[in-house]
Amino acid sequence: MAEASFTPRVFSGIQPSGDLHLGNYLGAIRRFVEMQATGVETVYCMVDLHAITVWQDPADLARSTRTLCAGFLAAGIDPEKSILINQSQVPEHAQLAWIFNCVARMGWMQRMTQFKDKVGKNAQNASLGLFAYPALMAADILIYHATHVPVGEDQKQHVELTRDIAAKFNHDYGVEFFPMTKPVIEGAATRVMSLRDGAKKMSKSDPSDASRINMMDDAGTIAKKIRRAKTDPDALPSEADGLEERPEARNLVNIYAGLNDQTVDQVLAEMGGRQFSEFKPMLADLAVSKLAPISTEMTRLLDDPGEIDRILASGAQRARAITAPILARTYEIVGMVGPV
C-alpha cells in the first residue's frame, strides 16, 4: 500500500482506571506532548470503553476519566492543538470495532500476551470484551486513519495486530482504505519497571502502591518510594553495558534519563561510580521537581470539572468530523445500505 497517501495523524489512548503513574507519563504522555509540538494532527483519548472490560465502579470511572483528562492537560496537552476525547462520546470507535470483530480471527486474539497475562488461568471467567479488546483498540486507531501511535513497549503487539486487521480488511474488500499504522516507541523509559521487582512492569493493577510512583503522590511519598526501591549493593557503572543483569539498577537509571530527557549513557557518564545512597536522593529530587508542578496543576483543574467536561464535549465534536466520514465509507465498502 502507498502509505504516503495517508496524511500523518497521531492517535493514542490511556485507560481511565486507577491512578496515572510514572510509566504512563514517561512511556506515553511525554511523547504525546512532543508529538503535539511537531504540528501533526494529534488525537488523545481516555479509553473508557476499554476500562469496563474489567469491572469499574461507575462513580470511580467518571472520576478517573476527569482525573486522566486533568493529567493530560497538566502535562502539556493543549486542547486547542490536540483533539482530546473520551472514547464513549465518539460512537464510531465502537461501531468500527464491530466490523473489526468480524475481520480479526480468534487465533490472533488468543496470542495476545496482555490478555493471557491478565486472565491467567481464569480465561473462562473473563469478559468477552476483554478478549475482543484489541479489535476495539484497532478501531480507535483506524477510525482516524492514524499513521503513528506513540505507546510504551507493552502495547507493541496490539499495534501490530492493528496492522494485521487493516491488511486483512484491505485485502478482503480489495481496497487500500486503512493505513499501516506505525507504533512509536521512543525514549529511555519505554518500559518502566516496578520499584519492588525489576522483572515486573510498573502498573496500576499492582496491589503494592510502593511498586509505582503515582502522578498525584506528594513529594514525601515519592522520596520514600524511591528510597525504598529495590536495588543491588553495587555502585552505578559508567557505561550502559554494566547494567546488564541489574534490572533494578537499570530501571532507576532509565527513569532518571526519561525524566531528565537524557540518554542512559549521558546519565551514567555523570553518575558512574556513585552508590545508590547518593543516587536515590538525586533521583527523588528530580522526580519531585518534574512531577510536583503537574500534580499541583491537576488539583487546580479538578476544582472545575465542568470545564473538563466542556473540553471533552468539544473534542468529541471535532473528532466526529473525522470519524463519521471514515465510518460511512467503511460501511459502504462492506455493503451496508445507508442513506443516499
List active site positions.
118, 201, 204
Tell me how crowded residue 102 is: count the other CB atoms within 10 A of its CB.
10
Pattern of binders to ligand TYM over 198-237, x per CB under 6 A?
---xx-----------------------------------
Residue with cell 491512578: 19
**Residue 151 touches ligand TYM, criterion: CB under 6 A:** yes
Verify binding: residue 93, ligand TYM, rule CB under 6 A: no
154 binds ligand TYM (CB under 6 A): yes
Alpha-carbon Rg of the chain, whole angstroms?
Answer: 21
For position 323 contacting ligand TYM by CB under 6 A, the verdict is no
| CB neighbour list of residue 102: distance below 8 Å, 6 or more residues apart | none
For ligand TYM, the closer CB: 192 or 327? 192
Residue 254 is inside which H or E element, if any? helix 247-260
Number of chain residues interacting with ligand TYM (CB under 6 A): 25
Kindly give, in sequence order, each residue whose CB lies less than 8 Å from that of residue 21, ignoring residues fewer than 6 positions away.
202, 203, 204, 212, 213, 214, 215
Rounded to an integer, what distance in angstroms lies between the CA atom of residue 24 and that of residue 64? Answer: 14
Site membership for ligand TYM, residue 71 (CB under 6 A): no
Among 35, 85, 130, 192, binds ligand TYM (CB under 6 A): 192
Which single residue brings its beta carbon nearest to ligand TYM? Answer: 27
Span from 71-79, 144-152, 243-251, 323-331 in contact with ligand TYM (CB under 6 A): 144-152
Q: What is the grid cell recorded at 26?
A: 514517561
| Binding of ligand TYM by 99 (CB under 6 A) | no
- Taking CB under 6 A as the criterion, the residue among 47, 99, 161, 213 binding ligand TYM is 47
Indicate whether 316 belongs to the interface with ligand TYM (CB under 6 A): no
Helix (H) or strand (E) holding 150: strand 148-150
What residues have CB less than 8 Å from 205, skipping those under 6 apart? 18
Half-sphere exposure of 103 (CA within 13 A, CB side): 26
Can residue 152 be called a binding residue for ligand TYM (CB under 6 A)?
A: yes
Q: Which residues contact ligand TYM by CB under 6 A?
A: 11-15, 23-24, 27-28, 47, 50, 137, 140-141, 149, 151-152, 154-155, 158, 190-192, 201-202
